[in-house]
Structure 1
Amino acid sequence: MITIFDPRQLSHAPLRELHNGGWTDYNETPDRAATILAAVGPAIPPRDHGMGPLAAVHDAAYLEFLQVAHRDWIAAGRAGDAIGYTWPVVGRRNLDLTRIDARLGRYSYDAGTPITADSWTAAYWSAQTALTALDMVAQDRQRAAFALCRPPGHHAGADYLGGYCFINNAAVVAAEARRRGLGPVAILDVDYHHGNGTQDIFAADPDMLFVSIHADPATDYPFYWGHADECGTGAGIGTTLNLPLPRGADWAGYQPALDRALAAIAAFGTRLLIVSFGADTFAGDPISHFAFERDDFTRLAARLAAMNVSSVVVMEGGYATAELGDNVAAFLSDGAWKCGMEIE
């Protein structure tokens, strides 16, 4: 499968994050992408599609904030990475706030996603990587393409960051694919953690299907989204399907949820599938609690390939860095995904 990646995505390198009441080393390190690239490379560089596709999904003021946040943090006399500490949990109004602390709270929802001087550059090229994977499928007639996105994106909403995510790469690709007339488009999120940002962006959209198999948010991040009774809002009711699973789920426990997910995708008439792929379902992941073994990633790929639809695979989580490259390679290794298979 063709892999797309840009080395500027490695520039985002926060030193630490606030987790469970204390400072810890940042989990979403540049080494994640480097080990994946070593296992699945070589990669081609992304094309620059500009700001238009990002602005089609994200609020203009939020995009501007991402570009200036660290500069304003330093201008305020701070050092290091910019991190919020106050969040408006109710009555979140569109106030004209000038202090960087206030804007960090306005445009984020956790203290685990620091902004560095290079975060915008990395996030921008991560999104361009995903858009170029779409080009490979839509224009170059590949059956599937892999966007090695880093930082990841599925926790980012239209106007907020969180969960290591700034730009929602899967949502940007899905919206752009629909604009190009490639729909119906479905998004399948198989990261251990629920893709709350993606769900939020498309919750009221009747023409975009979002399906997620993830850890039960009653016990796992992001807690407040991804419960089974969330099925969309307004005109979008029925186009969101959440399939939460208990901690410890292995392949046998995962398969019934996958069956439901793929049935929903088929019933939607899907022509293009966006896969938010997280390898943090691996049994050895340090911050996740499913029990996938390496071969299970190949089994998952085979089931997705059997859908016989064009697919864009967008990298999300996975934090067992030593094993991450081989796990991703196992997912991409199935013959149905191989580079050069053209759409009939």
Structure 2
Amino acid sequence: MKAYYDPQHSLHHPQFFLVRGERRDSTEVPERAAVFHEALKQAGHEILAPRRFGRDPVAAVHSGDCLRFLEEAPAAWAALGETSAEIVANVHPNRYEAGGYPESIVGRAGWHMADTACPIGPNTFEAALAAANVALSAADAVLGGERAAYALCRPPGHHAYADMAGGFCFLNNAAIAAQYLRKRVGPVAILDVDVHHGNGNQGIFWQRGDVLTVSIHADPANFYPFFWGHAGERGGGEGEGANLNLPLPLGAGDEDFLTALEVAAEALRAFQPKALIVALGLDASEQDPLKGLAITTSGFARIGAAIDSLGFPSVLVQEGGYLSPALGPNLAAVLGAFD
């Protein structure tokens, strides 16, 4: 399989992570990408540099205000004086009541950052743009005739909304690739298998019927992102019925996940997308430090085989999956199923 990778991901190295009120080291570290890269090499996949697509495909998904914020915020933050090395928002608006877009960088941080799990460093935007180019390059490979291609995206993207970062994510790589393909081939679907609900994917395409969004994830009643990902969320307006959430109990294993995947597959076959974006989180692993589900390495191989059997041209976009001995083998298991 062709795989795309950009070492610029290492420009983003978050330090701040707040868990139950306690500051800890972030799990979203550059070493993740090193593990994925090594797994690709060991499995013999062709690793290619992405091409540069410019801002247009990103701007087709993300608002101008959000992109300006991500680009300009580090300098504006530093100019305040007596600031932290990373931007961490300390005030968030209730957007239903918000009276207007704030001028202060502190206010804009709260407007464009959903939580404290997306600290912005001096080069975060450059790393996020590089990840978007990686996803777009894999999409281009599928447009060029590849049955499947893999995008080693870091930072991940599926929690990012059109105008709001969150959960380690800044630009929504899967949504950017989906929109890029939608313009060129017709209806597209996103299948998210990350342990966390793909709330950014859902939000971006909520009002649209031309992009089906499906997410299998740990039940948000007791797991991040908490406010989104419940089974009753089906889309709105022209998008009603084009969103499917399949939450699983915490600790669910291979069989429960594969049963949910059968339901997802039925929806995908009914929709008949011209291309499929797989938001490939590997943090559903039984060994992942975030401990939401309990998928084995052989389970990931079965998940990959089930997705491959659908027969849709597929772009696999890396989302979560954090450091554990199983991380590289889990990636190899999924990609190996497409050989």
Whether TM-score is above 0.5 comes out as yes
Is structure 2 residue 96 aligned with structure 1 residue 91? yes
Partner of 1:7: 7
Partner of 1:323: 326
CA contact (8 A) 1:283 1:290 kept: yes
CA contact (8 A) 1:277 1:316 kept: yes
Change (3 A) 1:92 1:6: farther
Where 1:210 maps in the other structure, the secondary structure is: strand
CA contact (8 A) 2:27 2:323 kept: no
Runs of 4+ in 1 over 4 A off after TM superposition: none
Partner of 1:342: none
> TM-score normalised to the size of structure 1?
0.95
- 1:241 is displaced (CA, Å) by 0.5
Q: Aligned-pair RMSD on alpha carbons?
A: 1.2
**Percent identity for Structure 1 against Structure 2:** 44
- 1:116 is displaced (CA, Å) by 0.3
- 1:16 is displaced (CA, Å) by 2.0
Partner of 1:30: 30
- 1:254 is displaced (CA, Å) by 1.4
Q: Among 156, 159, 162, which residue is 2:160 paired with?
A: 156
Partner of 1:70: 74
Question: Quick check: 105-114 or 248-257, which moved more?
Answer: 248-257
Partner of 1:118: 123
- 1:94 is displaced (CA, Å) by 7.1
Q: Among 59, 66, 78, which residue is 1:55 paired with?
A: 59
Change (3 A) 1:188 1:94: farther
CA contact (8 A) 1:35 1:321 kept: no
User: Distance in 2 between the 1:313 and 1:94 partners?
Assistant: 40
Q: Among 212, 218, 222, which residue is 1:219 paired with?
A: 222
- 1:100 is displaced (CA, Å) by 1.5
- 1:324 is displaced (CA, Å) by 1.2
User: Distance in 2 between the 1:184 and 1:229 partners?
Assistant: 23
- Offset from partner CA, 1:207-238 (integer Å, 9 cap, x none): 11001100101010000001000000111100
CA contact (8 A) 2:289 2:324 kept: no
Partner of 1:136: 141
- Offset from partner CA, 1:238-268 (integer Å, 9 cap, x none): 0000000001111111122111000100000
Where 1:43 maps in the other structure, the secondary structure is: strand
CA contact (8 A) 1:35 1:322 kept: no
- 1:93 is displaced (CA, Å) by 4.1
- 1:271 is displaced (CA, Å) by 1.9
Where 1:304 maps in the other structure, the secondary structure is: helix
CA contact (8 A) 1:191 1:213 kept: yes
- Which letter maps to 1:155? H
User: Distance in 1 between the 2:55 and 2:197 partners?
Assistant: 26
User: Distance in 1 between the 2:111 and 2:147 partners?
Assistant: 40
Q: Which ranges of structure 1 fall in alignment gaps of 5 or more residues?
A: 339-344
User: Distance in 2 between the 1:47 and 1:222 partners?
Assistant: 32
Partner of 1:190: 193
User: Distance in 2 between the 1:288 and 1:95 partners?
Assistant: 39
Partner of 1:294: 297
User: Distance in 1 between the 2:136 and 2:273 partners?
Assistant: 19
User: Distance in 1 between the 2:90 and 2:198 partners?
Assistant: 23
- 1:183 is displaced (CA, Å) by 2.3
- Which letter maps to 1:279? L
Question: Quick check: 166-175 or 92-101, which moved more?
Answer: 92-101
Where 1:105 maps in the other structure, the secondary structure is: helix
Q: Among 176, 179, 185, which residue is 2:180 paired with?
A: 176
